[in-house]
Structure formats: C-alpha cells, structure tokens
Structure 1
C-alpha cells in the first residue's frame, strides 16, 4: 500500500514540477537534475544516512546541498522536503513520472534493449529505427547487457515486451518437449 501512495505522491510532485519547468522553459534541465537526484537517493548508503533518525536534519540537508550542488535549487528543496517527510523512496517515482510527462510532451517513446553482448552503434541505430517504425514516434533507446539471455535480444517498449532471446526460445522448446513427454 505504501508503494502505491509513494507512486501517487510522486506523480503529483512530477506534475507540479513539469508545469513549473514548462513555464520556465527548463524541461531538459529539470529532467537531468531529477535523474541525478533519483540516482543519488538510490544509493543505498546515502539513503540509509538520510533515513537515520539519529542524524540531525541540518546535517542531512547539508549533505543534500553538497551532493546536489549542481542541481537546480528547487530540486535540492524537493529532495530536502522528501527527506523531511520520510519519503526518500518517492524520488524515483517523481523522476519517472516527470520523464514520462516530458516524453509525452515531446512526442517520444523510451525503449530498452537487452542483449547478451554489447551492441555496436550501427546495431543500436537499426533497433532504434525498428522501434520507431513500431511506435510511430521518436525513440530514446537505452541498452543493457545481460549474459543470461545467451543470445538474441529483448526489447521493452512501455508495457510491451518483445522477447527474441535465445534463453526464452530454449525455455519454450523445453516446455514443448515436456508437453510431448507427459
């Protein structure tokens, strides 16, 4: 239940921040700053420090100011507010909500490709073109390597998953053989 509440409050913050960034024509800057803040708060040790009841609030705020010194002052204020309310975990929801609003506003779609080995730039471009044709929008593609898929690729586009990995093909084959034997 707390995860749902975190997501909902994260969406409210994201919407308010997006409107402010749009009004001030700082959409991309806010996106970068929110990503930085979410990454910083995603650090397990830093999150434990911020969540520790024995650490004075002034010390937490000073640490936030130091670590996020390059970020917009309102981003630092937001992080301090979340820390003060015990909502450090909501920062990722704020960042993801903001990024989704930004992508919708700019008419782009994020996608992630997972492969067993790193892809060459030309391969990434071909995959980006393929996804662009599928969704009919500009695509921002991120790539990650997972040796467990053995080969092929997995493409995540929003809620859709296109699984062309060798490991899932082998799993389907194994299930088919089991069904034949049973």
Structure 2
C-alpha cells in the first residue's frame, strides 16, 4: 500500500464513511485488514479494468469480490452492497489509497512521494522527512522514486499538495515568464 495515488472526491467520501463506521464500532483494524486485501485484489490490472467496465454488471462484481475476499468485516460487506446499489463499484480501485490517508491521519502519520532525478545522498530522505514532519506535526514517510525527466532537484507530493523544486519546474517557469514578456524592439 505504499504508492501515492490520486483519488477522486467520490472515493474519498466513501472511504471516509467506511472509516468512520469502522472506527465508531471499534473495528478499525478489521477495516484496515479488509483494505489490505482489497489493495492486493485491485492491484491486478485485469481486475481493475473489469471493475471500471460498466458492461460487467454491478451485482456480478460485488459477488465476485465477496468470493475473492473471504472473512471481510461487516462494514466492508455493507460498503460493497451500498456501492453496488449506487453503481459505484469502480470506486474500489481508488478506495485503498483514500482509506490509507484517513488511517494514517488517525494515527498521526502521513505518507508522501519524493521524486528525484538522481539518486539521493545518504541522509537526504530522512532530512526531508524530518522537515516535513516538523511543518505538518505528523510523522511523514516518503516513498522515493527516481525520474530522470525531472533533470535535477526534488518534487514532494504530500496530502494532495505538490512541492516542486525540480530543474524542470524552474525551466518551465522561466519559459512562461519569457513568453509573457512584451518585447519592445525598434
């Protein structure tokens, strides 16, 4: 469940309802276990594509998920039933990421993504985590990904906010400023 995934407002709303129901019934760890299983199920690209396919009936999707996910808690079963009634089972592809944000928030944690063009020097990741932890008041954990297209610098995505200190972002900003400059020649 380490990947940082962008989620829709709909996915966040259902994740929040599921989270609050489980928390209110003191069944948060069962809900977390259900989400871990769902994460492994939707990680399969064919399953995700099938969940997103409107031609594959909602009740068939729900029944298949219940068979694949044995021993799920009652709140998860209720969630599946509600999503099926509202023709929203496709939301399940984003639900784990949205739920994980709430679970981490509840426990004072926050996950983020640290993208870098070059390998980090020892201690850089920890320094960035400490800096973001101090500014957010939460224990920040960053997943590192290398992306040569960034050219240099780092980009951090945390709680839906992107902090972009990459060379590519600076070049794009300079290009935009140059395009906006009115040239008075002659």
Give your verdict on TM over 0.5: yes
The answer to whether structure 1 residue 127 and structure 2 residue 141 are counterparts is no
SS at match of 2:154: strand
Partner of 1:7: 9
Q: Tell me: CA distance 1:174–1:17, structure 2 relative to 1, closer, same or farther (3 Å).
A: closer
Deviation, 1:15, is: 3.5
Q: Which moved more, 1:115-124 or 1:136-145?
A: 115-124
Deviation, 1:127, is: 1.6
User: Normalized against structure 1, the TM-score is what?
Assistant: 0.68
Q: Which moved more, 1:69-78 or 1:85-94?
A: 69-78
Deviation, 1:129, is: 0.8
Q: Tell me: CA distance 1:87–1:175, structure 2 relative to 1, closer, same or farther (3 Å).
A: closer
The 8 Å contact of residues 155 and 162 in structure 2, kept in 1 or not, is answered as yes
The 8 Å contact of residues 41 and 88 in structure 1, kept in 2 or not, is answered as no
Partner of 2:116: 115
1-structure distance, mates of 2:84, 2:9:
16
Partner of 1:64: 65
Partner of 1:89: 90
1-structure distance, mates of 2:148, 2:114:
13
Q: Which moved more, 1:134-143 or 1:39-48?
A: 39-48
2-structure distance, mates of 1:54, 1:179:
50
1-structure distance, mates of 2:89, 2:58:
16
Deviation, 1:88, is: 2.0
Partner of 2:38: 37
Partner of 2:105: 104
The 8 Å contact of residues 38 and 91 in structure 1, kept in 2 or not, is answered as no
User: Normalized against structure 2, the TM-score is what?
Assistant: 0.67
Deviation, 1:115, is: 1.4
Q: Tell me: CA distance 1:85–1:46, structure 2 relative to 1, closer, same or farther (3 Å).
A: farther
Q: Which moved more, 1:162-171 or 1:72-81?
A: 72-81
* TM superposition outliers: structure 1 runs of 4+ over 6 Å: none
Q: Which moved more, 1:101-110 or 1:22-31?
A: 22-31
